[in-house]
Each structure stands twice: as structure tokens, then as C-alpha cells.
Amino acid sequence: QCAPWKDNACCTANTSSEAHKDNSNLYNFNWNHCGVMPPKCKRHFIQDTCLYECSPNLGPWIDQADSSWRRERILHVPLCKEDCEEWWEDCKDYVTCKENWHKGWNWATGTNRCPWGSMCRPFSHVFPRPKDLCEKIWSNSYKYTTEHRGSGRCIQMWFDPAQGNPNVVVAKYYAWKKRTSPAHMENVIPETGRAASAWPWSVLVLLPLALALGAGGCGSRGWGFL
């Protein structure tokens, strides 16, 4: 499931292998906390892990996190409508005991278990809509959109690598949109002085974009199951 990123990935082959295991060394996270997760549902969670660990196109959504277990996180990555809806459809009959899988688990045994007093319920009850699943399960790491695959305005969790990576264009669009917003432009408009005038206006605008697409594109999930 991590194959789409094999030619340009932020993860190693070992990470890709571990992403496919039920209790991998990546997070010691147990997908089967309320019974065995069906393969058709698990496929989406593996793709989700591969996207987080391997994609070099998430730079525009890296955000500072003020917590003891991570310094950065991914926030509001716009997922394509089809990705959210297929994820929900394939998992709606599985059961879980939690809405937010980022934190709140019982880790007494070294792997995640349902908190004391919680009940396992169908996904369709915990997450009534695809939007609920995509946005709530990882603390708003994802954002549900009505944009379609191939629109250039939403991130695909999986794609055919033979057709190229559609997320490259999406990352460029949102990086440019973010860097040219009125609030940001106030911070990059050069003031008077030799240091400021040494850089052309076009360079001052494009440089942050290049940095966003280059250095800031890779990162791990940084789960802190507390």
C-alpha cells in the first residue's frame, strides 16, 4: 500500500513493511481493539499510515504542536471526497470504542486497549458521516472536502504511481495559497534598507514557497497515545 511513494518517499522500506502489520513497531497500535478489523477496512488505515509516513507532499499542512510527545503535527490536510467516503463505507460495519484514536487509550499492557468503561460500537454510530471519520479520528489531521480526485485541490490517500503523483500539484497550490495570503504578505513585504532591497520582490514571494515544498514536506505521524 506504500508503493505509490517508492520513487520519492520520506519513509524507509522497513517503515513500509511495518505499516502493514497489526501490531507494528511503528506505534505498537492494535487495529483489532474491538475485534478483528476486516481487510477492506484495514486497507484504508494502511494507506493512511503510508501517506503520513511516506508522502513528501504534506509540507503546507505541517503545524506546530505544543505537547510533550511531539513538536509538529499535520493539520487539516484536505482529503478528496472519494477517499473519505470509501474509507467510511468500507469501515462502517467495524466496531470501535473511541472517536479520537490519537489519545485516551489504555496503554497499561504496552499496546492500546479500550479505556475502562468504554463500549465497542459500530463505526457508523461513532462516525455517523464520512466527514466525522476523516476529521475526528486523528484530531483534525484531515479535513473532509467536496473536491474530487484529479481536481488539483485535494490530497489522495492512494493513487496509481504509473499515472504520476497527483498530490504534487495539490501541495504546490496550497503552499502558494498559504504563502500569498494577506496575513503572510505583511510579514514578507520588504522594509527599507540595503538587506531588503537586495532581493527582488518575486524572489521574496517564491522563496517561502520553495522552502515549504522542499524542507518541510516530510515528517512522521508523531502519535502520542496518552
193-220 residue pLDDT tens:
333 333 343 333 343 444 344 434 554 4
Give percent of the chain above pLDDT 90: 50
**pLDDT attached to residue 155:** 97
Structural element, H or E, at residue 143: strand 142-144
Q: How sure is the predictor about 22, in pLDDT bands with cuts at 50, 70 and 90? A: low
Which H or E element spans position 142? strand 142-144
* Sequence spans of domains, the chain: 3-213
pLDDT of residue 55: 87
Helix (H/G/I), strand (E/B), else coil: 91: helix
Taking residues 144-163, what's their average pLDDT?
94
Element (H, E) at 90: helix 81-91
Q: What is the pLDDT of residue 63?
A: 87
Buried b (16+ CB within 10 A) or exposed e, 167-203: beebbbebbbebbeeeeeeeeeeeeeeeeeeeeeeee
Could you tell me which residues are beta bridge partners of residue 87? none
Look at residue 2 and tell me whether its pLDDT is greater than 80.
no
- E strand or H helix at 62, and its extent? strand 62-64
pLDDT in the model for residue 162: 86
pLDDT category at 29 given cuts 50, 70, 90 is confident
**Residue 1 binned pLDDT confidence (cut-offs 50, 70, 90):** low
- Asked if residues 109 and 73 have their Cβ atoms less than 8 Å apart, the reply is no
Q: How confident is the model at residue 187 (pLDDT cuts 50, 70, 90)?
A: very low
Question: How many other C-beta atoms are found inside a 10 Å radius of the C-beta of residue 166?
Answer: 19
Look-up of cell digits 484495514: 42
- What is the predicted pLDDT for the residue at 196? 33
Do residues 69 and 115 touch, judged by C-beta distance below 8 A? no
pLDDT digits (tens, 9 = 90+) for 69-125: 567 789 999 999 999 999 999 999 999 999 999 999 999 998 899 999 999 999 999
* Average of per-residue pLDDT values in the chain: 78
Q: Residue 185: its pLDDT value, please?
A: 37
For the segment 45-74, the average pLDDT, to the nearest whole number, is 83
pTM for this one? Answer: 0.77
Half-sphere exposure at residue 214, Cβ-oriented, CA atoms within 13 angstroms: 6
State how far the Cα of 37 lies from the Cα of 13, in Å rounded to an integer: 24
Greater confidence (197 vs 19) lies with: 19
